[in-house]
């Protein structure tokens, strides 16, 4: 039973070719490409509106030098949103449920932000390791604690995204299995369980969107500290 529950998180392989690469690249085809027309269609207009609103909210507290990251973070937001929501469809695979992929994204982007801060303003970046007004006796301990918290950030980013998606998928699978098992034995209970399954699917769709936004928002906050 335990193996069957977690089989959905295994990367499928066909003819020794991992399909996770196809699962990552294929959804990009669904997005409309920009045109040279004066008036855009509804899908392209909705996409541009979503990007402008999300980018303005994320980069509102960031200084102008950090706006150079707008293209990268907005692309990351679209990527995570697509991966999270596409995995809710039947017979699909969720690449962002893999800890290795999330840790790769979080670690690389966090390292880029830290290196940027050390190159542009090292004094300001190192100043975050010691809170202002801290007693002199607690200085070594606070520096060690802040350093550990700094290195925990990419781990927290990757684990948070993986745990939320994994827990939602497991709840949906457990509820759907219980609904099918009780359909012939207790049909009335199965109806209520089916309603619960529908509500869980809506909740998981909201979680998929929220977690993508939280991932990019936390990266923007780390960027704000270093620019």
In a domain, 11, yes or no: no
* Strand partners for 14: 17
The predicted structure's pLDDT at residue 108: 92
In a domain, 109, yes or no: yes
In a domain, 65, yes or no: yes
**Which helix (H) or strand (E) covers residue 146, if one does?**
helix 139-182
The predicted structure's pLDDT at residue 5: 62
The predicted structure's pLDDT at residue 2: 46
Q: Give per-residue pLDDT as tens, 143-190.
A: 888 888 888 999 999 999 988 888 888 888 888 888 888 888 888 888
Integer angstrom CA distances of residue 62 from 12, 67, 191: 40, 7, 49
In a domain, 62, yes or no: yes
In a domain, 15, yes or no: no
In a domain, 145, yes or no: yes
Residues of the chain with pLDDT under 50: 1-2
Reading the block at residue 17, the tokens are: 């070719």
Tell me which residue range forms the domain holding 194: 20-226
The predicted structure's pLDDT at residue 155: 92
Q: Does the CA dihedral 123-129-135-140 come out positive or negative?
A: negative
The predicted structure's pLDDT at residue 222: 87
In a domain, 81, yes or no: yes
In a domain, 6, yes or no: no
Please tell me the total count of domains within the chain. Answer: 1
């Amino acid at each position: 039973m335990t193996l069957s529950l977690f089989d959905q998180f295994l990367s499928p392989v066909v003819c020794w070719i991992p399909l996770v690469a196809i699962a990552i690249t294929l959804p990009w085809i669904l997005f409309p490409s920009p045109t040279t027309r004066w008036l855009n269609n509804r899908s392209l207009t909705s996409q541009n509106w979503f990007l402008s609103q999300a980018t303005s909210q994320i980069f509102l507290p960031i200084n102008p030098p950090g706006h150079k990251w707008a293209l990268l973070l907005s692309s990351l937001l679209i990527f995570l949103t697509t991966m999270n929501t596409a995995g809710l469809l039947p017979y699909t695979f969720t690449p962002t449920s893999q800890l290795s992929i999330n840790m790769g994204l979080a670690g690389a982007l966090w390292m880029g932000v830290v290196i940027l801060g050390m190159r542009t303003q090292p004094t300001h970046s190192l100043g975050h390791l010691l809170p202002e007004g801290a007693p002199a006796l607690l200085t070594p301990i606070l520096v060690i604690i802040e350093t550990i918290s700094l290195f925990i950030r990419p781990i927290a980013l990757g684990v948070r995204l993986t745990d939320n998606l994994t827990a939602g998928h497991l709840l949906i699978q457990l509820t759907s299995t219980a609904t099918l098992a009780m359909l012939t034995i207790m049909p009335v209970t199965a109806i209520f369980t089916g309603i619960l399954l529908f509500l869980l699917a809506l909740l998981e769709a909201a979680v998929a969107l929220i977690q993508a936004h939280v991932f990019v928002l936390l990266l923007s906050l780390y960027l704000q500290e270093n620019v």
